[in-house]
Structure 1
Amino acid sequence: MTTPRKQVILGAYLGGVNHHTAWWHPEAGSQIDFDSFEHTARTAERGKFDFFFLAEGLALRERAGKIFDQDIIGRPDTFTVLASLAAVTEHLGLAGTINTTFNEPYELARQFASLDHLSGGRAAWNVVTSFDAFTGQNFRRGGFLDPADRYVRAEETLNAVRALWDSWEAGDLVANRDSGRFLARPDAGAFTFRGEQFDISGTFTVPRSPQGRPVILQAGVSPQGRDFAAANADAIFSPYGKLPEAAEFYRDIKARAVAAGRAADEIKILPSASFVLGDTEAEAVEKYHTVRDEQVTGQTALILLEQIWNRDLSGYDPQGPIPDIDPDPDAPPVIQGRAFVHQDRFATARRLREVAAAKKLTLREVVIDQFERGPLVGTPAQVAEQIDTFVQDNGSDGFILGSHLVPWGLDEFVDKVVPLLQDRGVLRGEYTGTTLRDNLGLRDVHAATPARAET
């Protein structure tokens, strides 16, 4: 029997506070105006994407006490943007990154349940934790959690939020025929949750939402992060855009999900990727090199390495060799407000030196070689082939795509690559589900049923 071809999941992200966005490009649009968010979301829906995704920036990032001059400044409130997009889209999922360290379960549960109602079942929550005291200064409690405690609070926050969502059963809302009012059944919304982090009780104000529970997204690379994601997430963002390491990550997460008592297909693996298209492969490669060289300037390369070394590297020549000194993890942070994604500074520095020596690369060339996010480069047919092959070979279940050019860059992908994926039979021609869970192929979690008349 022939195994059915996997369907490709597609998410779209709007470039934000990072060096991947070519904000200096003369055709680049605003990072704040609603028109940019709307255009990207409408374009993604036109391409039958599964969801639109927003990252989060809770603090303006700094280097040595000064704001990065190569970063975009500002990101509007996530819930405000997604709720606005719910009014101008019909099928597209709406995913937001919201922190568990500085938010309370009750408000998180209400916000996401409300978004799910407003959008007709299209809300998703990317669960993240805080990583530094610098960010915590913006919040009432200040400070931050130790790494060992971050996932403890995150897991308890998620469990509490789910308890509030589940406090309403499907069908708890009843329509009174005489008055036309909706009435709640006795005890609907009543909740009590007690744990190490929270001791809360009351009545949840938002009835069961169209999905039952909004979709949960997560990104975890450390063993603790992988276990948390495998046990709790509906989809996880993979940091690997190249086989075979992507396939190994895929196998590991799926195995952890099974070990946590779930089916392997209950969690989807989604790496982020950029793309560059050309009429010929040579043209695409030339365009890619131009974009890449603009993105990774000498200054950007030094800053990315400073995050690993935790030293001021401004005296090093980007066209020279990689630093031969060791990182200094115990010094005050040189870079503030950036999530640290490398588990071992010394091992990472050693690996970069080995790559530089083996490939005879300069400092800047090493950064370009090692910090890429798996770009998809080629003709539309070649990029469609790359995506399809990667997914069928279990490198992922799909991709979260973004362009260096905000907000117009995604148009080219939708116009030229999406039809080819549809011709291959791996991308829907029309939406068939009514919720994001439906479109992602996720199991039902007791979604809301229409209010029935009281008899």
Structure 2
Amino acid sequence: MTVRPRTSLKKIHLAAHFPGVNNTTVWADPRSKSQIDFSSFEHLARTAERGLFDFFFLAEGLRLREHKGRIHDLDVVGRPESLTVLNALAAVTEHLGLAATVSATFNEPYELARRLATLDHLSGGRAAWNVVTSSDAFTGENFRRGGFLDRADRYTRAAEFVATARQLWDSWTPDGVPRPFAHRGEHFDIAGEFTLPRSPQGHPVVIQAGDSDEGREFAAATADVVFTRHGSLAAGRSFYADVKRRLAKYGRNPGDLKIMPGVTVVLGDTAAEAQDRAAEIRRQQVSPQNAILALEQIWGVDLSSYDPDGPLPEIDPVADSGITQGRTRRGDTVAIAEKWRALSKEKGLSIRQTVIEAGARQSFIGTPEAVAAELDEFVQKDAADGFIVQPVITPSGLDEFVDRVVPLLQERGVFRTEYQGATLRSHLGLPDPVWRG
């Protein structure tokens, strides 16, 4: 049955996240290929462009994760530098936006602004910067400054970093005249001349991820796109309303900031088949070894003697043990342990089953028609402006979504049938930045 396009509906924005070092990617699947070979990046980027996606998104890792003092061998080892990969992808794509995750803690404004402006020029205005922060001394050991940055200072440095980068991008007039720049602030004191004229979209698009109150405020003041994890319709609507209402304080309109949760999608010809596939993916994601690892992250002690098919430990967690390094903290581990124990007791689950149940990550599961309808509902009910799709297989995990879901979104009249503009800002419907010379 063909769904007739409807009028006056919000359009859905889509981006593709390259699968990487996380507990979503299924590296044991025989279809999984290299996360370093350029062919993998090219395949996913070309698929995203074939699907008319807004942008391609790369995460970043500045140090390999460790567990119990050793490099975690259940992770993928090897993480190329994002901007280098995206500059190469600019040559094999024509419309697709190219987003790099780069730390505002372990970089400097002049150097990074220049690298991002270079990508924006080479790609014809398709560059984006996902701003991340860190107070992690473990990662900082790879840098001269080490872990000097207090956690409370990470957003103040990031805000000044973005403002300084924009000052550098604005140091050339729109008609191509270079002008000296000077910035003196709490974190940066620089002056000189920028080497590149204003790029095709004025400034690269700025993306931000963070759910804390300070993160939401930073996004409202600074970002063009917010990458969030809110999965349910109710949670999404609450986050959406909260962040959008903050924009007016900074003289911004609701459309100036796009909210795009990261989602995974599992498809099947029937609802039952999709649920079966989703369950199998979770079993692949949470192997017996990964189940014990997840447990050790919460309990903070060596649990290698425990049977993954046995019950949860009766001992209490050890807070802030540092057993795992380089991975985002899960929050209040004591509260999480109590929640897991209650879940295990209620459903009679083993360690592995509890980790699978508690950590389920698939956001949309069903037939292509059902998934398209649900994605549409999230956007029309103001739970999101679009989605960053996170495949579970590298690099072919996006193929089925593009082939089976995108055409249905187009039939519903909520997704483009061709690219209209040349820049990423035009894809996202963002206003051009005002030159502040």
TM-score if structure 1 supplies the norm length?
A: 0.90
Instruction: Confirm whether residue 138 of structure 1 aligns to residue 142 of structure 2.
Output: yes
Show the counterpart of 1:179.
none
Which residue in 2 is equivalent to 1:424? 412
What are the residue-to-residue correspondences of 1:70-89 with 2, within 5 Å? 70-89=74-93
1:64-75 map, 5 Å: 64-75=68-79
Report the more deviating stretch, 381-390 or 206-215: 381-390
Whole-Å separation in 1 of the counterparts to 2:337 and 2:29: 32
Residues 52 and 94 of structure 1 are in contact (CA less than 8 Å); yes or no, is this contact kept in structure 2? yes
The equivalent position to 1:394 in structure 2, one of 366, 382, 404, is 382
- Shift in alpha-carbon separation, 1:405–1:447, aligned structure 2, 3 A: farther
Q: Where does residue 252 of structure 2 map in the other structure?
A: 262
Residue 98 of structure 1 pairs with residue 105 of structure 2: no
Shift of the 305–84 alpha-carbon distance from structure 1 to 2, 3 Å rule, reads: same
Tell me: CA distance 1:290–1:93, structure 2 relative to 1, closer, same or farther (3 Å). same
Q: 1:27 maps to which residue?
A: 31
Tell me the residue number matched to 2:326: 337
Identify which of 10, 17, 20 aligns with 1:13. Answer: 17
Aligned to 2:276: 286
Residue type at the aligned position of 2:421? G
Q: Does 1:347 align with 2:351?
A: no
| 2:3 match | none
CA contact (8 A) 2:134 2:151 kept: no
Task: Please state how far the C-alpha of 1:115 moved relative to its aligned partner.
Answer: 0.6
Structure 2 residue matching 1:368: 3-state secondary structure: helix
**Number of residues paired by the alignment?**
431
Q: Could you say what secondary structure the match of 1:201 adopts?
A: strand
Return 59-68 or 293-302, whichever deviates more.
Answer: 293-302
Looking at structure 2, the residues matched to 380 and 225 of structure 1 have their Cα atoms a distance apart, in angstroms, of 34
Letter in 1 for 2:386: G
Maintained 8 Å contact 1:213/1:447: no
Moved more, 368-377 or 116-125: 368-377
Counterpart contact for 1:170–1:446, Cα < 8 Å = no
Output one character per residue of 1:381-420: Cα deviation in whole Å (capped at 9) or x when no partner: 1111121112212221111112211111211111111100
Residue number in structure 2 paired with 1:46: 50
1:150 aligns with 2:154: yes
Deviation at 1:271, TM superposition (A): 1.1
Q: Which runs of no fewer than 5 residues in structure 2 stay unpaired?
A: 1-5
Moved more, 315-324 or 162-171: 315-324
Q: For residues 192 and 237 of structure 1, do their structure 2 counterparts lie closer, same or farther at Cα, with a shift above 3 Å needed?
A: same
Matching residue's letter, 2:81 = D
Kindly indicate whether the alpha-carbon contact (under 8 Å) linking 1:109 and 1:164 is maintained by their aligned counterparts in 2: yes
SS in 2 for 1:97: strand
Q: Which amino acid aligns with 1:198?
A: F
- Tell me the secondary structure at the aligned position of residue 306 of structure 1: helix
Identical residues among aligned pairs (%): 56
Q: 1:146: how far off? A: 2.1
Structure 1 position 234, deviation (Å): 0.7
Measure the CA separation in 2 of the matches of 1:252 and 1:96: 26
In 1, Cα distance between the equivalents of 2:224 and 2:361?
22
Taking a change above 3 Å as real, the CA distance of residues 301 and 116 of structure 1, as seen in their structure-2 partners, is: same
Mapped to 2, the partners of 1:286 and 1:447 lie a distance apart of: 53
Q: Could you tell me how far 1:135 is from its partner in structure 2?
A: 0.9
Aligned to 1:244, the other structure's residue is in SS state helix
Give the secondary structure class of the aligned counterpart of 1:11: strand
* Consecutive unaligned residues in structure 1, runs of 5 or more: 174-183, 449-455
Given that residues 91 and 122 in structure 1 are in contact (C-alpha distance below 8 angstroms), is that contact kept between their aligned partners in structure 2? yes
Matched residue, 1:176: none
Map of 2:350 onto structure 1: 362
What's the offset of the Cα at 1:169?
2.1
Pairwise CA distance, 1:303: 2.1
CA positional deviation for 1:240: 1.1
Give the stretch that moved more between structures: 351-360 or 254-263.
Answer: 351-360
Does residue 403 (structure 1) correspond to residue 391 (structure 2)? The answer is yes
CA drift of 1:258 comes to 2.9
TM-score w.r.t. the length of structure 2 is 0.94
Relative distance call for 1:117 and 1:277 in structure 2 (3 A) is: same
Mark the CA change 1:3 to 1:424 in structure 2 (over 3 Å): closer, same or farther: closer
* Counterpart AA for 1:259: K
Matched, 1:413 2:413: no
Structure 2 contact 264–392 (Cα < 8 Å) conserved: yes
The alpha-carbon deviation at position 350 of structure 1 amounts to: 3.4
CA change 1:222–1:348 in 2 (3 A) is: farther
Partner SS, residue 45 of structure 1? helix
1:348-387: CA deviation from partner (whole Å, max 9, x where unpaired): 3333334444444433333223323343221111111121
Among 290, 300, 320, the residue aligned to 1:310:
300
Q: Does 1:433 align with 2:421?
A: yes
* Distance (whole Å) between structure 2 residues aligned to residue 156 and residue 313 of structure 1: 43
Q: What secondary structure does 1:30 align onto?
A: coil
State the one-letter code of the partner of 2:262.
S
Say which of 5, 8, 11 aligns to 1:4.
Answer: 8
C-alpha contact 1:230 1:260 (8 A) present in aligned 2? yes
Whether the 8 Å CA contact 1:239–1:373 is kept in 2: the answer is: no
Counterpart in the other structure of 1:121: 125
For the pair 1:232 / 2:222, whether they are aligned, the reply is yes
